[in-house]
Amino acid sequence: MPLITHEFKSPNELNEEFAKQILMILGEAIERNGKATLAVSGGSTPKPLFKALSEKDFAWNQVQVTLVDERWVSNDHNDSNTKLVHENLLVNYAKEAEFVSVTTTESDPVNAEQTISQRFDSMADAFDIIILGMGEDGHTASLFPCSEQIEGGLDLSRELSAIATAPTTAPHQRMSMSLAKIIKAKHVFLHLVGAKKRDVLEDAIQNFKEIEKPIKAVVSHTNVDLMWSP
């Protein structure tokens, strides 16, 4: 599967152009289906993109937003992706969007896999847009090469769309979208900034197995648009 690279001169240019492309795709989905679905990732990289999106006057009341993965913490915890999205994306015009949570009151995320899978599947069989990030270890979503659950997360025959993971190199238990669900999406984007992340990606694709660098599994099984700037 091809990795289609879109290079921009700066993060600001990337975020403005990426926001326009996202809204174009969501708008086309709304015209076809009356609604659109968007799954985003956490971290510092997408925060300016979220801001750019939130400031666009759009039919946000017809968009469902969820997370590709979440740390199993309370929604007011500083490490919560839910908090990040509510504070940076679901504001301004975009506060009209519907947010679909990927956490429950279960103390152990393993016990919530079925519930979260049903939430993902009720949103869409195939999401209109999934935006991924990537760690320097080659993980994406919360599919960590160090976790005991990585084989299950990358299993394309997995029936559940969500999987609980427990990385050994990062804090908190997690809930993650499975690879099988990710690659069904109509549009998969990988949003990276900086030369180091691009080097990690190229090294992962060329020199590692999918289980060693899970981002390679995504690129190997679906078309991915890389949105990158120095």
Amino acid, single-letter form, for residue 94: A
Q: Rounded to an integer, what distance in angstroms lies between the CA atom of residue 67 and that of residue 212? A: 23
Percentage of the chain exceeding pLDDT 90: 99
Location of structure tokens 């759009």: 58
Q: Rounded to an integer, what distance in angstroms lies between the CA atom of residue 152 and that of residue 164? A: 10
CA distances from 199 to 137, 138, 196 (A): 11, 11, 5
Residues 59-114 have pLDDT tens digits of: 999 999 999 999 999 999 999 999 999 999 999 999 999 999 999 999 999 999 99
- CA torsion, ordered 33, 35, 36, 42, to nearest 10 deg: -160
* Domain-wise residue ranges, the chain: 3-229
Q: How confident is the model at residue 2 (pLDDT cuts 50, 70, 90)?
A: confident
Amino acid, single-letter form, for residue 104: T
Residues 164-206 have pLDDT tens digits of: 999 999 999 999 999 999 999 999 999 999 999 999 999 999 9
Q: Does residue 69 contact residue 177 with C-beta atoms inside 8 Å? A: yes
Asked whether residue 213 carries a pLDDT value surpassing 80, the answer given is yes
Q: Rounded to an integer, what distance in angstroms lies between the CA atom of residue 154 and that of residue 45? A: 24
Who contacts 85 (Cβ-Cβ below 8 Å, separation ≥6)?
40, 42, 50, 65, 67, 99
Residues 110-158 have pLDDT tens digits of: 999 999 999 999 999 999 999 999 999 999 999 999 999 999 999 999 9
Please give the pLDDT value at position 192.
Answer: 98
Please give the pLDDT value at position 199.
Answer: 98
Mean pLDDT estimate for the chain = 97
Containing 199, the helix (H) or strand (E) segment is: helix 195-207
Q: Where are the alpha helices (DSSP H) in 63-191?
A: 81-88, 113-123, 150-154, 179-182
Please give the pLDDT value at position 221.
Answer: 97
Containing 25, the helix (H) or strand (E) segment is: helix 11-33
Please give the pLDDT value at position 133.
Answer: 98
Q: Does residue 165 contact residue 155 with C-beta atoms inside 8 Å? A: no
Please give the pLDDT value at position 78.
Answer: 96
Please give the pLDDT value at position 126.
Answer: 98
Please give the pLDDT value at position 119.
Answer: 98
The structure's pTM equals 0.98
Q: Does residue 69 contact residue 141 with C-beta atoms inside 8 Å? A: yes
Residues 74-85 have pLDDT tens digits of: 999 999 999 999
The CATH number of 3-229 is: 3.40.50.1360
DSSP 143: B
